[in-house]
């Protein structure tokens, strides 16, 4: 397989079929550009009109049109697919898990990461606030797996503000972070790339950030800014706006040289008190 990673930027709607068609074309493009690992954005198939729509859209793990689409695309295109997030059913019938499903190039489920940190924030009092936990149940488990491009860890959107999560993965030798996201315009403009570069620099790791962008038919607007960042914090590929595909080569030899020359994993001194 190639050493090329791709991230996809989308403007998803509340219409599943439209989202599948958009993703289909972009995944095909990523494969044609030689990508062996591709990351879809958060909520790529399910940009819902209202919070409770997530419950109605939710699939059981291993069954449903969204999962079948991802399985089929991974196998047909011969790619590893980090499937953004989709709502999966949980024990609480009134809630879902925001799940990132990762498929290998045979279309087999290789890992599942459920978003741990939920976006319960007020951005502009009285104007813009979010309560993701109203219908979403947080995950608990950190996910690390071997991929064709290196040891891979997954995080989702708001998770990027919690460096402790990434340090746990780094301490288990993760080399690439896949981060599906749907940042708001306000927080994206202020913080998205800053946070993505910080997570790369702190952990001498690649960051693969796949984002939602634009004005959605749900009334929501998202920032975009999909990017691939190398372990030195350099932005090697970026898409500020629009829908499309970014690709970049993953150079693990460079990553290992940086870690050998700057062994922060050996220098860490602070422990819990």
Query: Which one of the listed residues 157, 175, 211, 227 is annotated catalytic?
Result: 157
For residue 177, being part of any structural domain is answered with yes
Query: Which one of the listed residues 115, 132, 137, 227 is annotated catalytic?
Result: 115
Give me the pLDDT at residue 273, please: 61
- Read off the pLDDT band of 272 (50, 70, 90): low
For residue 242, being part of any structural domain is answered with yes
Residue 114's domain comprises: 4-262
Residue position matching structure tokens 């062994």: 263
Residue 126 scores a pLDDT above 90? no
Q: What angle do CA 57, 210, 62 make, to 5 degrees?
A: 35
Alpha helices in the chain (DSSP H): 16-32, 53-57, 65-77, 163-170, 185-187, 193-203, 252-261, 264-267
Number of independent structural domains in the chain? 1
Look up 115 and say whether it is catalytic: yes
Q: What share of the chain is helix, strand, coil (3-state, %, to 5)?
A: 30, 30, 40
Q: What is the CATH number of the domain that holds 27?
A: 3.60.110.10
Neighbours of 61 (CB within 10 A): 14
For residue 270, being part of any structural domain is answered with no
Residue 104 scores a pLDDT above 70? yes
Look up 100 and say whether it is catalytic: no
Query: Which one of the listed residues 42, 59, 137, 175 is annotated catalytic?
Result: 42
> 37-52 burial string, b = 16+ CB within 10 Å, else e?
bbbbbbbbbbbbeeee
**Residue percentage of the chain with pLDDT more than 70:** 99
Residue 65 scores a pLDDT above 90? yes
Residue 271 scores a pLDDT above 80? no
For residue 246, being part of any structural domain is answered with yes
At 209, list the tokens.
Answer: 């950030």
Pick the closest to residue 173 from 264, 272, 40, 99 (CA basis): 264
For residue 268, being part of any structural domain is answered with no
Rounded to an integer, the average pLDDT of 135-144 is 98
pLDDT digits (tens, 9 = 90+) for 216-258: 999 999 999 999 999 999 999 999 999 999 999 999 999 999 9
Pick the closest to residue 261 from 241, 220, 237, 232 (CA basis): 232
pLDDT digits (tens, 9 = 90+) for 158-189: 999 999 999 999 999 999 999 999 999 999 99
- Residue 233 φ/ψ region, left for φ over 0, alpha for ψ in the -120 to 50 degree band, beta for the rest: left
Look up 90 and say whether it is catalytic: no
Residue position matching structure tokens 């932005």: 235
Give the pTM: 0.97
For residue 205, being part of any structural domain is answered with yes
């Amino acid at each position: 397989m190639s050493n090329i990673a791709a991230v996809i930027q989308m403007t998803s709607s509340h219409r599943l079929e439209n989202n599948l068609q958009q993703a289909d074309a972009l995944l095909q493009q990523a494969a044609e550009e030689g990508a062996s690992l591709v990351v879809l954005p958060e909520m790529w198939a399910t940009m819902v009109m209202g919070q409770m729509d997530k419950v109605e859209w939710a699939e059981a793990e291993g069954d449903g049109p969204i999962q079948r689409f991802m399985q089929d695309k991974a196998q047909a295109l011969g790619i590893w697919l980090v499937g953004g997030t989709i709502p999966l059913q949980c024990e609480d019938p009134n809630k879902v898990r925001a799940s990132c499903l990762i498929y290998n190039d045979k279309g087999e489920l290789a890992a599942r990461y459920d978003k741990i940190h939920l976006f319960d924030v007020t951005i502009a009092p009285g104007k813009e606030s979010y309560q993701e936990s109203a219908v979403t149940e947080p995950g608990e488990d950190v996910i690390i797996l071997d991929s064709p491009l290196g040891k891979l860890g997954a995080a989702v959107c708001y998770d990027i503000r919690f460096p402790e999560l990434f340090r746990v993965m780094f301490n288990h030798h993760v080399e690439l972070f896949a981060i599906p996201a749907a940042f708001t315009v306000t927080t994206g403009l202020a913080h998205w790339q800053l946070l993505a570069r910080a997570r790369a620099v702190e952990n001498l790791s690649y960051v693969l950030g796949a984002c939602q962008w634009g004005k959605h038919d749900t009334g929501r607007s998202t920032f975009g800014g999909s990017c691939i960042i190398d372990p030195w914090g350099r932005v090697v590929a970026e898409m500020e706006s629009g829908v499309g595909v970014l690709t970049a080569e993953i150079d693990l030899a460079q990553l290992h040289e940086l870690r050998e020359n700057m062994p922060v994993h050996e220098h860490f001194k602070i422990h819990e008190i």
